[in-house]
Amino acid sequence: MAGPSATRFISSMPRCSSSASRAGIAPDAVDAVVAVSTTGIATPGLDARLIDRLGLRRDIRRLPVFGLGCAGGVIGLARAADLARAAPGTRVLLLVVELCALSFRKNDVSKSNVVATALFGDGAAAAVISCDGDGPALGGAGEYTWPDSLGIMGWDVAEDGLKAVFSRDIPGLVRRHMRDVVSEFLSHHRLTLGDIDHFVCHPGGAKVLSALEEAFRLGEGALVEGRGVLRDYGNMSAVTVLFVLERALAARRRGRLLLTSLGPGFTAAFQLMQAA
């Protein structure tokens, strides 16, 4: 995973505007952009709108990704890594933007809408992915979609906008099934949960974090970075796990990291990372 052709996570930060400069890369040196969002719907997409604003090249490859919800941060990272591996030397800009406030529906006073409004926030994050550089190495990635689970999370299209759908049973599902699903993913890479040094988990909510800690047998409160991001920013959908990752790297969480997130489908997403 950390060999000379390993895909590297060069730089990340919770604002996209200076990601390339922080990585020491000029905008015109970016070869591809992966733009992830489920809340900001636009055509032309955000990736196209940034070409002139950031001075990106005219021949840049664009991959807009929509509909992954909270799983989009991990899956977007995996897709960016796939592009970088396919053409070593390529620099891929991963851009994740979620504008959850756009889904606010002022006439809906239901408990689910009030909870969603209180829990979800706006955010943006970016990273540069390449086989060059000395950042943390990205390893295997995977996904698992549960059967008959389309109604657990997503959008309902209402007359006054998009209505958030999320099941109250998500923490229970995590407790019952997440450990087995993650163990199966790790077995494909000849690993076990005991081989993971640090868990970088999308904090869907306080109850989901507690369920993840229970599923991975970490102890209550062990997911410190996830709890801190949830406290400071709320659930920023796909963006959130990248905020958690930035804090984990800043805290010098070293060794083998496992990124996880859950989103519409209902889908669990995984990404292995080696931080030296």
Look at residue 149 in the predicted model and tell me its pLDDT: 82
The mean pLDDT value for 131-140 works out to 86
- Rounded Cα distance between 68 and 24, Å, is 30
Q: In the CATH scheme, what architecture does the domain 137-275 have?
A: 3-Layer(aba) Sandwich (3.40)
Measured CA to CA, the distance from residue 130 to residue 168 in angstroms comes to: 39
Q: Is the pLDDT of residue 4 over 50?
A: no
pLDDT digits (tens, 9 = 90+) for 14-36: 222 235 567 778 899 999 999 99
Domain boundaries, the chain: 7-130, 137-275
Which pLDDT value is given to residue 112?
A: 67
Residue in the structure block whose two tokens are 């790297």: 249
Residue 197 has pLDDT above 50, yes or no: yes
Q: Is the pLDDT of residue 202 over 90?
A: yes
- Lowest mean pLDDT across 13-27, 41-55, 128-142: 13-27
Confidence of residue 231 (pLDDT cuts 50, 70, 90): very high
DSSP structure class, residue 120: B
List pLDDT tens digits, range 64-104. 999 899 999 999 999 999 999 998 889 999 999 998 887 77
**Would 7-130 and 137-275 be classified into the same CATH topology?**
yes
d(CA 220, CA 207): 11
Res 9: pLDDT: 53
Per cent of the chain over pLDDT 70 is 91
Domain 7-130 is in which class?
alpha beta
| Predicted pLDDT of residue 131 | 87
Determine whether 41 is exposed, middle or buried from the number of CB atoms within 10 Å of its CB (0-12, 13-18, 19+).
Answer: exposed
Query: 57 pLDDT band (50/70/90 cuts)?
Result: very high
CA distances from 22 to 198, 200, 202, 225 (A): 25, 22, 24, 22
Look up the pTM and report it: 0.87
Question: Is it the case that residue 12 has pLDDT exceeding 50?
Answer: no
| 11 confidence band (pLDDT: 50, 70, 90) | very low
Token output for 7: 């895909």
Q: Which of 70, 100, 131, 201 is catalytic?
A: 70
The pLDDT value given to residue 18: 34
**Which pLDDT value is given to residue 5?**
43
Q: Give residue 261's pLDDT band: very low, low, confident or very high (50, 70, 90).
A: very high
Cis bond upstream, residue 266 (ω within 30): yes
Which of these ranges, 72-81, 117-126, 151-160, has the smallest mean pLDDT? 151-160
> What is the rounded average pLDDT for all residues in the chain?
86
Residue 19, pLDDT score: 54
The pLDDT score that the predictor gives to residue 110 is: 72
Integer Cα distance of 248 and 234 in angstroms = 17
Asked which of 4-13, 68-77, 122-131 is least confident by mean pLDDT, the reply is: 4-13
Q: How far is CA 242 from CA 43, 115, 187, 198, in A?
A: 25, 23, 25, 15
Respond yes or no: is residue 70 known to be catalytic.
Answer: yes
Beta partners for residue 161, in sequence order? 158
- Under 8 Å between Cβ of 239 and 101: no
Give the integer Cα–Cα distance in Å for 98 and 110: 23
